[in-house]
């Protein structure tokens, strides 16, 4: 009896435990599913999508579009209708024959640049034409100074173009320096101007040290030893340039094997040079070196002819530089050489086109100063384009870094003092025409030497 009761109790306990275990089964599945799905999906999707898309799209699109559109659509300021450039030139007075050549070169260069749309200025993202204002200073340095001041205050020029003759430039360059306006000038060889520490002066034109040394270098290269005019007379004009170049000729003569046997001085417009000529003749001078203005040069040659002294070689810089020389002297003006800085028979790119345009405008080929003047405008235009602005100081800095390869006068660079590193050709009057006689790669004729005596021409 007791045994049955115990067995029944045990069965009851087993059944109770089975029911308890069955009721606990859902509690075992729930914890397994929930922790597996929730932590896996949430961290994987949210960090992967949000950080990847937001930083990638925003920085990539915004910086790329904004800088590209803003400068193109809205320039910093409106472009001017013209680039203002000005010059004071002696179109009348004692230097008028030089000034008209310089004026022609400036104007033809500006015409060519404007025909192509002008000068590209990055600041305005467009080409802007040049407006050139020219005043006649009547060969008066005081008037030239006044004209440059007017160009600065009235036209507000971004660059000056120089006039003609050393003493005129000596008066005007300080004004450019004072006003901080870049100044490009030709038709002057006075080196002294460049020794004043000026920062705004640039001149693509041969200077006295080059001219003095080249005189004897060319003679030695072009004339065989034993035939050279070793005895030299120097007629020194009592001007800054005359004194400077006369001294440099004297200094270089011995260095190259020449002897200065007569050194004369005279004031401009002296008219009578007979005493000087007689002393040079008596000293046995075979070469004459001088820098006369045109009236003085013409008077010298006429009086030399009358006295009967014909140097084998003559270098008269400045006086013979235009057609008036040949018109006044005829055959007496032949055999004279010059350092003009350029000639239309030289073989530089663009020269043939310039000759054609000058012929159409003036009825003759360009005079010797037209090319250097044209090149001056090329220098200014090139500097403005490289500067990318019309700021005067930026243009000055760009001019200092000039490295033109194919200007009207050939390659152009500048030394620290503003003197040009340029070719210094020699030309000579032959049969009423000017011919290039040096350097060999540009010559249109050989050097005519020795000069035929005046009475046999």
> How do residues 23-80 score in pLDDT, each as one tens digit?
444 333 333 333 333 333 333 333 333 333 333 343 344 434 444 444 455 555 799 9
Give the pLDDT of residue 4.
Answer: 40
The structure tokens listed for 163 are 């006039």
Give tens-digit pLDDT for 250-278.
Answer: 999 999 999 999 999 999 999 999 999 99
Once rounded to an integer, what is the mean pLDDT over residues 320-338?
95
What's the number of CA atoms in the CB half-sphere (13 Å) around residue 228?
A: 20
CATH among 3.30.950.10, 3.40.190.10, 3.40.50.2300, 2.30.40.10 for 209-338+425-456: 3.40.50.2300
- Strands of 159-161's sheet in order across: 130-136, 83-89, 159-161, 183-184, 201-202
Please state, in angstroms and rounded to a whole number, the distance separating the CA atoms of residues 110 and 291: 31
Domain residue limits, the chain: 83-206+347-421, 209-338+425-456
The structure tokens listed for 317 are 């810089």
- Topology alike, domains 83-206+347-421 and 209-338+425-456: yes
Please state, in angstroms and rounded to a whole number, the distance separating the CA atoms of residues 368 and 196: 28
Angle at the Cα of 67 from the Cα atoms of 63 and 72, rounded to 5 degrees:
155
The β-bridge relationship of strands 201-202 and 231-237 is: unpaired
The structure tokens listed for 192 are 């002294």
Coil, strand or helix at 251: helix
Coil, strand or helix at 318: coil
What's the number of CA atoms in the CB half-sphere (13 Å) around residue 178?
A: 10
CATH superfamily for 83-206+347-421 is Response regulator (3.40.50.2300)
Please state, in angstroms and rounded to a whole number, the distance separating the CA atoms of residues 298 and 165: 18
Give the pLDDT of residue 77.
Answer: 76
Please state, in angstroms and rounded to a whole number, the distance separating the CA atoms of residues 241 and 292: 10
Give the pLDDT of residue 76.
Answer: 58
Averaged pLDDT of the chain: 88
- pLDDT higher than threshold 90 for residue 337: yes
Please state, in angstroms and rounded to a whole number, the distance separating the CA atoms of residues 324 and 328: 6
The structure tokens listed for 243 are 């004194």
The β-bridge relationship of strands 83-89 and 130-136 is: parallel
Whole-model pTM: value is: 0.80
CA distances from 284 to 233, 237, 245, 278 (A): 9, 21, 22, 10
Q: Where are the alpha helices (DSSP H) in 223-285?
A: 240-255, 274-282
If you count them, how many residues does the chain have?
457
The structure tokens listed for 247 are 């001294």
Angle at the Cα of 291 from the Cα atoms of 286 and 296, rounded to 5 degrees:
95
Angle at the Cα of 169 from the Cα atoms of 109 and 106, rounded to 5 degrees:
10
Give the pLDDT of residue 233.
Answer: 99
Give tens-digit pLDDT for 382-424.
Answer: 999 999 999 999 999 999 999 999 999 999 999 999 999 999 9
């Amino acid at each position: 009896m007791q045994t049955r009761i115990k067995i029944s109790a045990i069965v009851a306990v087993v059944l109770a435990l089975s029911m308890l275990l069955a009721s606990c089964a859902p509690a075992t599945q729930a914890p397994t599913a929930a922790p597996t799905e929730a932590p896996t999906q949430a961290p994987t999707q949210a960090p992967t999508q949000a950080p990847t898309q937001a930083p990638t799209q925003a920085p990539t699109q915004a910086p790329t579009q904004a800088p590209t559109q803003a400068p193109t659509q809205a320039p910093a300021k409106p472009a001017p209708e013209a680039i203002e450039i000005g010059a004071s030139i002696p179109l009348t007075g004692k230097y008028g024959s030089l000034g008209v050549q310089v004026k022609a070169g400036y104007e033809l260069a500006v015409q060519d640049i404007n025909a192509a749309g002008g000068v590209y200025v990055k600041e305005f993202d467009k080409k802007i034409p040049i407006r050139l204002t020219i005043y006649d200073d009547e060969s008066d340095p005081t008037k030239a100074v006044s004209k440059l001041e007017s160009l600065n205050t009235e036209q507000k020029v971004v660059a000056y173009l120089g006039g003609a003759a050393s003493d005129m430039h000596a008066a005007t360059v300080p004004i450019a320096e004072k006003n901080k306006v870049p100044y490009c000038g030709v038709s002057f060889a006075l080196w002294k101007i460049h020794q004043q520490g000026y920062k705004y002066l640039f001149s693509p034109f041969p200077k006295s040290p080059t001219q003095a040394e080249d005189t004897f270098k060319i003679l030695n290269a072009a004339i065989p030893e034993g035939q050279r005019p070793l005895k030299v007379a120097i007629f020194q004009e009592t001007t800054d340039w005359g004194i400077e170049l006369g001294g440099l000729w004297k200094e270089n003569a011995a260095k190259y094997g020449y002897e200065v046997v007569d050194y004369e001085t005279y004031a401009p417009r002296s008219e009578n040079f007979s005493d000087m000529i007689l002393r040079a003749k008596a000293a046995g001078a075979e070469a004459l070196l001088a820098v006369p203005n045109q009236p003085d040069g013409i008077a010298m040659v006429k009086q030399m002819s009358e006295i009967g002294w014909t140097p084998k070689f003559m270098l008269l810089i400045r006086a013979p530089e235009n057609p008036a020389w040949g018109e006044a002297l005829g055959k007496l003006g032949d055999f004279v050489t010059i350092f003009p800085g350029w000639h239309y028979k030289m073989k530089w790119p663009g020269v043939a086109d310039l000759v054609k345009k000058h012929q159409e405008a003036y009825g003759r080929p360009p005079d010797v100063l037209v090319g250097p003047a044209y090149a001056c405008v090329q220098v200014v235009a090139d500097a403005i384009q490289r500067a990318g602005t019309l700021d005067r100081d930026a243009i000055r800095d760009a001019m200092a870094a000039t490295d033109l390869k194919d200007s009207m006068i050939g390659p152009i660079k500048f030394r620290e003092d503003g003197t040009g590193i340029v070719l210094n050709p020699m030309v000579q009057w032959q049969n009423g025409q000017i011919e290039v006689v040096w350097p060999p790669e540009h010559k249109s004729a050989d050097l005519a030497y020795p000069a035929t005596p005046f009475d046999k021409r």
